Amino acid sequence: MATATEGEMEVLSADPVMLQSIVSAVESCLQMCGMEAKCVAVSTVPPHEIGSVTGMIGVHGEVSGFVTVNMAERVATSAVGGLLQDKCDSLTPQVIDGVGEITNIIVGGIKKGLSNSKWCFGQTTVPSVIIGRNYQIAYAGGLSFLSATFEHENDDSFTLEDRLIQISLSLIQL
């Protein structure tokens, strides 16, 4: 009899509606940016934020919580460059604004994916973008949490960390 590995157990315990809404939203957004990424990890426990650029949006409705879109600087410049049809080489104010817009697009896709579920929300806040590393987000007790990590194939990136996008969804039913 085969037993599930720890990673497989994480996926099995993840809410399938939440997971599918995240995967669909990321795939759709990245397609707009001329990029592709595959989901390589799922966690129901808040992970350490891996990238140096994080977009964050609060959500409200049948549930309350927030969504974070964390990515490496190389992913941010590549994605925003693709979205704007322009070359972006560094983390400029335009790229930071673009990360806010990418966060908006992903959250919009998640909102659509959750619209007919117990996790639906109708309102979102304006995106905030955090730049830097070594910060920690404290999550309130009672939240349902799901994080999905995606790997973007980028020939210019030599390290795995430079290719990762992590979407975290934390919601509490009201």
DSSP 108-125: HHHHHHHTTSTT-EEEE-
Q: What is the distance of C-alpha 73 from the center of its chain?
A: 14
SS3 for 70?
strand
Question: What predicted TM-score, i.e. pTM, was given to this entire model?
Answer: 0.89
Cβ 127 vs Cβ 54: under 8 Å: no
* pLDDT score at 156: 65
CATH number of 6-173: 3.40.1550.10
Burial 148-160 (b: 16+ CB within 10 A, else e): bbbbbeeeebeee
Compute, in degrees rounded to 10, the torsion defined by CA atoms 166, 75, 37, 170: 20
* pLDDT score at 12: 57
Pairing of strands 128-131, 53-61: antiparallel
* pLDDT score at 13: 77
Amino acid at 28: S
- Cα dihedral sign, 23-106-72-65: negative
Q: What is the distance of C-alpha 162 from the center of its chain?
A: 15
One digit per residue, the tens of pLDDT, for the chain of length 174 reads: 444 454 444 455 789 999 999 999 999 999 999 999 999 999 998 887 888 999 999 999 999 999 999 999 989 999 999 999 999 989 999 999 999 999 999 999 999 999 999 999 999 999 999 999 888 888 888 889 999 999 987 666 566 677 899 999 999 998
- Domains of the chain, by residue range, sit at 6-173
